[in-house]
Amino acid sequence: MFRTCINIGLRQHAGIVQRSVSSLSKLVDLDVRHPHSRDRKTKVICTVGPATWDASGISSLLDAGMNVMRLNFSHGSYEDKAKAIATLRAELDRNARSDVDFDDGSCEDLCAIAADTKGPEIRTGAVADGAKAVELVGGSTVEITTDPQFATSCTASRLFLDYPDFANEVSEGQTVFVDDGLIELTVTGLHPGEGAVDAKVVNGGMLGSGKGINLPGASLSLPAVSERDAADLAFAVEQDMDIVFGSFIRSAADIADIRTALGPAGAHIMVMAKIENWEGVLNFDEILAASDGIMVARGDLGIEVPASKVFLAQKSMLAKCVLAGKPAIVATQMLESMVKNPRPTRAEVSDVGNAVVDGADAVMLSGETAVGAYPQAAVQIMGKVCQEAEAVIDHGELGASIRGRHAAYEDVLVSVGDHHKDATRDAIASAATDAAARIQSPVIVVLSASGGTARDVARFRPEVPIVAVTDDARVARQLNVSKGVFPVVVAPAPLDAMRASGVAFGKSLGLPSATTPTRRSASM
């Protein structure tokens, strides 16, 4: 493993240091007539599915700026996923893009692959007689059973759920949301000996097969890693995937269970926690300490947490991720209307922009790219919105705020189990970003074996791109979820040679650069 160095590319001429303006002053000075900033720092994650997992579809997503390909393990077969992975790798090799395109935010010869687990979720059974849906009428009564003999025969009067302990762990008055909250039931009677409960339909609707269940406020004994999850994680290891998005994470112990399931062969895989329920929100600090990053998964979260609180939860979690220096993703319904329409709603555009301003490292597309009619357009539009939103951020003020707060929050993380903090490395990263701002450097070049120092620099949110040079392709791919980091893979070489490669690469991008008069290094 080689030492990690930070190099700051210098302008050819002396610059005048500008004092940071206040956020309000920056907003007042915004001009919609001006073009967006050249580089997109926020990463875009695309879910692939029937609409995009062939060669043409994946190539179009790469061309549009996809940084991470997500595979949803709640749907599809292993065969489909293996084909998608092979297709992505073949497309990257075939096109040999081998460049960083700051304009669309892509490192086009690098694309991480993420497995999104099914997690400890509860679903309904199949509708009886092969029907597409059954209508649950408001005001009616329905029996909810866990008896497997009804797994394929759900009707308007009897629903099957795939969680055997359901009747033992709910109480009368418990709200039961079905199909992302579109249908609401209330438990009115308990029959634990029969594995069933009675419920009243509060809000009815058409119910299809295999729909998700949410139980706001309930504490369930569902395992963090089911038998199916264990098989899915083994597949992720077999396919040499880069990231796991763990669904419905409730505590740090859930993260530990996923790492155990991945085993030594999967120890290199990043584990990012999806926060989707009350327990996850309440235990957020310990989850953040135990994980490699966070996904704010607002679909289920918006059902289990009052809608008016999701806004606050998102802002709080993103801020903590920034202070901790761990990547954060915002997901669910970001450009949902583009599943069917060629243009997003104005509210969706604002949602994406606000996530960027809140501090998201990445934003994610789900159905828009998996089954949507306009997948490439969705990626392009999301990328453009991210670029425009980044112009709103006052990087000087933000960096100063982070420097003033991150040490205190790291103490919180250490207290709940994060023992990987390094004050020396933090000081180097902070000094590098501060120096880059003072000398008006057009780029920061980071040499890193593990990616840790690149993430440390990214934490302080420099205004200029961070070019992360590494000899490990996996590390480079995993950096594709860190804001402002553009990873580059080089052949293993002595430190000075790698440093020279990084500077040469910066020059090749058309960025004015010169030999660095001062450099700081630390062993990693």
Active site residues: 70, 123, 274, 332
Judged by average pLDDT, the poorest of 118-132, 272-286, 415-429, 479-493 is 415-429
Could you give the percent of the chain with pLDDT greater than 90? Answer: 65
What is the mean predicted confidence (pLDDT) over 233-239? Answer: 99
Answer whether residue 11 shows pLDDT above 60. Answer: no
**For residue 356, what pLDDT is reported?**
96
Domain 4-25+396-522 in CATH: superfamily? Pyruvate kinase, C-terminal domain (3.40.1380.20)
pLDDT given at position 494: 80
Asked whether residue 520 carries a pLDDT value surpassing 80, the answer given is no
pLDDT over 70 (residue 96): no
pLDDT at position 72? 97
Tell me the helix, strand and coil percentages in the chain, rounded to 5: 40, 20, 35
Of 2.40.160.20, 3.20.20.70, 2.40.33.10, 3.30.70.580, the CATH number of 122-214 is 2.40.33.10
125, 154 Cβ separation under 8 angstroms: yes
Q: Give the span between the Cα atoms of 458 and 326, in whole angstroms.
A: 9
pLDDT at 256: 98
Residue ranges covered by each domain of the chain: 4-25+396-522, 40-119+225-391, 122-214
Are the C-beta atoms of residues 200 and 139 closer than 8 Å to each other?
A: yes
Q: Is the pLDDT of residue 97 over 70?
A: no
> Is residue 2 very low, low, confident or very high in pLDDT (cuts 50, 70, 90)?
very low
pLDDT in tens, 41-80: 999 999 999 999 999 999 999 999 999 999 999 889 999 9
**Cα(516)–Cα(353) distance, integer angstroms:** 35
pLDDT classification of 426: cutoffs 50, 70, 90: confident
Please choose, from the candidates 63, 69, 70, 68, the residue with its C-alpha nearest in 3D space to the C-alpha of residue 101. Answer: 63
Lowest mean pLDDT among 99-103, 219-223, 310-314, 425-429: 99-103
> At 171, is the pLDDT very low, low, confident or very high (cuts 50, 70, 90)?
very high
Residue 523 clears pLDDT 70, i.e. is over it: no
What is the reported pLDDT for 424?
A: 77
Tell me, what's the pLDDT at 209? Answer: 94
Give 364-389 pLDDT, tens digit per residue.
Answer: 999 999 999 999 999 999 999 999 99
Q: Between 469 and 422, name the one with better pLDDT.
A: 469
Residue 15 has pLDDT above 80, yes or no: no
How far is the C-alpha of 381 from the C-alpha of 391, rounded, in Å?
Answer: 16
**Count of beta carbons in the 10 Å neighbourhood of residue 333:** 16
pLDDT of residue 1: 38
The mean per-residue pLDDT over the stretch 83-90 comes to: 97
314: pLDDT strictly greater than 60: yes
Helix (H), strand (E), coil (C) string for 309-371 = HHHHHHHHHHHHHHHHCCCEEEECCCCHHHHCCCCCCHHHHHHHHHHHHHCCCEEEECHHHHC
pLDDT value at residue 141 = 98
Structure confidence by residue, pLDDT tens digits, 255-287: 999 999 999 999 999 999 999 999 999 999 999
Q: How confident is the model at residue 510 (pLDDT cuts 50, 70, 90)?
A: low
- 40-119+225-391 CATH: 3.20.20.60
